[in-house]
Amino acid sequence: MFTIADRAPTPNPNAFKFHTGSPLVENGSLNFASMAEASKLPLASELFRLGTVTAVMVAEDFVSVSGSEDTDWDEAEGVVARELAEWSVADANRLAEQQAADATARTAGQSSHELYDPVNAVLEQYVRPALAGDGGGIELVGIEGKTVTIRYQGACGSCPTSRANTLMAIENLLQHQIDPEIEVVPE
């Protein structure tokens, strides 16, 4: 049985992170940006049923919930608490593997791009851990020439600073680590 250890604000004024103190998913994360996507996970479905939730991310030992300005965060916390009482790490792992396989299928052919592995390695080592600390994540969507397309996840998806500060920082990091001509664009 999982419980909420604490509710923490994120840099996104319309998102909170609910920590459990115990691993909810062992590898990767679960990301939902719509009710249709959320149908595979009761926790996410119930949050979207509130009508004001815009994204749900489950990673490591937290659930990140993004919503509109009208989101009742006490009500959202109640949903998270109820759904965590029935949480299955095995089911979460299976769903995370499926989401990872779907992402791999979407980027089929991209992994042969000469920049794909180096860019993904830099994102994995430096960017993803930092964004997870703020309740978010990032997906490498594709690379065309020297233009890297990313998708923000979790609290980062609707955060005002993602499109400016974070995007510029990621671009600067990739330019410094890999190629000074890299450009990063959000999907």
Q: Which residues contact 123 (CB under 8 A, 6 or more apart)?
A: 138, 140, 150, 170
In a domain, 1, yes or no: no
Mean pLDDT of 102-115: 74
Number of domains composing the chain: 2
Within a domain: residue 175? yes
Q: What CATH number has the domain bearing residue 96?
A: 3.30.1370.70
* pTM as predicted: 0.85
Mean pLDDT of 68-77: 96
Lookup: tokens for 96: 């995370």
Q: What angle do CA 25, 134, 41 make, to 5 degrees?
A: 35
Domain boundary among 57, 89, 104: 104
Q: Does 36 map to a domain?
A: yes
Q: Are residues 79 and 169 in the same domain?
A: no
**Same domain, yes or no: 100 and 119:** no
Mean pLDDT for 40-44 is 95
In the listed set 39, 74, 104, which residue is the last one of a domain according to the structure? 104
pLDDT computed for residue 157 by the predictor: 85
Shared domain for 132 and 121, answered yes or no, is yes
Please state, for a pLDDT cut of 70, what percent of the chain lies above it: 96
pLDDT of the residue at 164: 76
Mean pLDDT of the chain: 91
List the domain range (segments joined by +) for residue 62. 6-104
Length of the chain: 187
Span 126-172, pLDDT tens digits: 999 999 888 989 999 989 999 999 999 988 888 877 767 899 999 99
pLDDT at position 133, please? 86
Q: What are phi and psi of 9, to 5 degrees?
A: -70, 160
